[in-house]
Structure 1
Amino acid sequence: MGAPEPVEGFRHSSSSDSSSGRRSQRATRRLPRRAAIGRRSFTSTLRSLETLADAGAQVSVHVVDLDSHVHVLSGDDHVTMPIAGLGVVPLLVEVAAAFEAGTLDPLEIVERTATEQVLTSGVWRHLHAPALPLEDLAVLAAAAGDPIAANALLQKVGHDRVRERIESLGLRRTALLDRFRDQRGPDDAPHVAVGSSRELAGLFSALVNSQVVDAAVSAQVSEWLSLNQDLSLVAASTGLDPFAHDHDAHGLLFINKTGRDRGVRAEAGVLAGPRAGVAYSLIVCFDDLSIAHRLRAHDAFRVLGVELMEYTH
């Protein structure tokens, strides 16, 4: 079967520099100009995302075929939006590059008390170990989205180096703005990170193609991300074991990172099966007014997951 025609959808009234992530007004939308025929057309995904847009959510999606480099699905993929913990990926790239260059010791011990604490989430705060090596903190940040571990890594390498790394990767709409916090005050950045779905899908594509810094750095970051245990959004449709999915018995290659905040859900990753491989990113910002609003956003991620599985198998 040949490559499908690209599918494009929904354009909102929000501008490309929007980072508020919460739109209560009804959004205007544009139906896809071209849609592939058959089960590889992502029509269910578009329908689900357009329903979210009609309800006032801000949505951005991008899917690119790893082999043909065809952008098989796109919708407002240039728009900069909040991405929460997904912003850890550029930080992990910088950490891996520093390990590779020898400017950072992977076994350097970091005291938990040396970093400002985050009490609303994470694993390290529940552990008895008062200190861990930097490499273990990278695993915690990638696998469990641990905010204290991420903050400790950011404190070690510094915002400036992460910003320079992001620029060197050619990412113009992606930024790690701040550390993780329990609460954000008027003097703090409004979000921990922002990005566009096109850039994030492209970053994951570059990772699996060994194009992020070099092959060693790409492999290290991909290995960390392969340990991610949050398979509740797009990955819910893969049937993978959240705790052991880096060597799937059916040959499914999958790496991902998610981001969650009040009214923000984001995910980017790579899914490859026997027929094809894709890099994808989906960001949804919505009014988190009830559990129904939240579940409707989550459902859209799972619909995308189903159609990604159909595309790759």
Structure 2
Amino acid sequence: MAALEPGDGFRNSPVPESMGGASASSSGRRSQQRTSRRLPRRAALGRRSFTATLKALEGLADAGAQVSVHVVDLDSHVHVLAGDDHVTMPVGGLGVVPLLIEVAAAFESGALDPLEIVERASVDAVESSGLWRHLRAPALPLEDLAVLAATAGDPIAVNILLDKVGHDRVRERIEGLGLRRTALLDRFRDRRGPDDAPQVAVGSAREFAGLFSALVNSQVVDAAVSAQVAEWLSLNQDLSLVASATGLDPFAHDHDAHGLLFVNKTGRDRGVRAEAGVLAGPRAGVGYALIVCFDDLSITHRLRAHDAFRVLGVELMEYTH
């Protein structure tokens, strides 16, 4: 097992050992990529190891998936778990988070009225997913659209918010936040043509784990914006990946009876699963992100990817409790 090099951005990590990862590209390059991409063997000193997570991720890598993971302790800022976390990968709806940050900042500054009513028909319909398309209400206020975007990843709500703030403002916000490997490339579409961006959004596990850590520490734009975005995301109802290990109620988990703080956002596309968030318990708190790109050839391939998220969730719960 080769050690992580200082150039990989892990100078302060107490984790000296690593294991291989692999790309989701051709099988002829997999063995070479597994030797160049590294996932750590152990967790932070004095904490539980992430042995089961590493085994699950190694299995995905051996099957040809591309894996990127980053876990950081909120108090010590130690990199608890990290591998290929600098790699830019498709993240699906996880890329909505910078948009929500820009929307919250526009609400606070007065550039947008949170109670402005917007017609659903003001953007092209998206029939492949979403909640609003099933509702009777033909129009909603912008603040409700932000809630729909955060809790259900509603594509029509996201597209309207993107139209209201403008793509350039979101790009500037991402740059202002110091995110160099993250981009919201396009709106949601039922079909992507040759002139459309191939992905809704891309990003790295390191940047998204850091972004969520900054949100709960009131360091994104200012305390008010951080609190607003964290509040929206705390209502997220997709607890099927990492969050499946928390035992939280998907529909009512913003005030957990056992004092568990949990904020997250997921992203999904064909062959893409991504999640980033913050999990805090009585012993510790972490910011985390896991991105997996895999060949979605069968339900077995998909479930194997989902299981890796669940295993990470179990070991994050052990770490924080």
Q: Same fold (TM over 0.5)?
A: yes
User: Corresponding residue for 2:204?
Assistant: 196
Once the two structures are superposed, what CA deviation does each residue of 1:146-182 show, in whole Å capped at 9, x if it has no partner? 0000000001101000000000000000000000011
1:183 has 2:194 as partner: no
**Deviation of 1:6 (Å):** 3.5
Aligned alpha-carbon RMSD (Å): 1.8
**C-alpha distance in structure 2 between counterparts of 1:169 and 1:306, whole Å:** 30
Residue identity (%): 83
Using a 3 Å threshold, how does the CA distance of structure 1 residues 33 and 124 change in structure 2: closer, same or farther? closer
> Which residue of 294, 300, 304 maps to 1:296?
304
User: Corresponding residue for 1:6?
Assistant: 15
> Which residue of 206, 215, 231 maps to 2:214?
206
User: Corresponding residue for 2:114?
Assistant: 106
Q: Secondary structure in 2 aligned to 1:28?
A: helix
**Deviation of 1:28 (Å):** 1.2
**Deviation of 1:36 (Å):** 4.9
**Deviation of 1:7 (Å):** 7.0
1:42 has 2:44 as partner: no
1:240 has 2:248 as partner: yes
Q: Does structure 2 retain, via aligned residues, the 8 Å contact 1:11–1:76?
A: no
- Letter of the structure 2 residue corresponding to residue 41 of structure 1: S
**C-alpha distance in structure 2 between counterparts of 1:13 and 1:80, whole Å:** 14
**Deviation of 1:38 (Å):** 7.9
Q: Structure 2: which 5+ residue stretches go unaligned? A: 1-12
User: Paired residues, what number?
Assistant: 304
TM-score w.r.t. length of structure 2? 0.91
Once the two structures are superposed, what CA deviation does each residue of 1:92-130 show, in whole Å capped at 9, x if it has no partner? 000000000011000001100001111010000000000
**Deviation of 1:34 (Å):** 5.1
- Letter of the structure 1 residue corresponding to residue 125 of structure 2: Q
- Letter of the structure 1 residue corresponding to residue 105 of structure 2: A
1:258 has 2:260 as partner: no
**C-alpha distance in structure 1 between counterparts of 2:276 and 2:118, whole Å:** 29
Q: Does structure 2 retain, via aligned residues, the 8 Å contact 1:7–1:36?
A: no
Q: Does structure 1 retain, via aligned residues, the 8 Å contact 2:42–2:51?
A: no
Aligned ranges for residues 57-136 of structure 1 at < 5 Å?
57-136=65-144
**Deviation of 1:10 (Å):** 4.5
**C-alpha distance in structure 2 between counterparts of 1:64 and 1:283, whole Å:** 15
User: Corresponding residue for 2:59?
Assistant: 51
**C-alpha distance in structure 2 between counterparts of 1:46 and 1:156, whole Å:** 42
Q: Secondary structure in 2 aligned to 1:258?
A: strand
**Deviation of 1:91 (Å):** 0.1
1:147 has 2:149 as partner: no
- Letter of the structure 1 residue corresponding to residue 34 of structure 2: T
Aligned ranges for residues 205-224 of structure 1 at < 5 Å?
205-224=213-232
- Letter of the structure 2 residue corresponding to residue 310 of structure 1: E
Q: Does structure 1 retain, via aligned residues, the 8 Å contact 2:274–2:292?
A: yes
> Which residue of 28, 37, 40 maps to 2:34?
28
1:249 has 2:257 as partner: yes
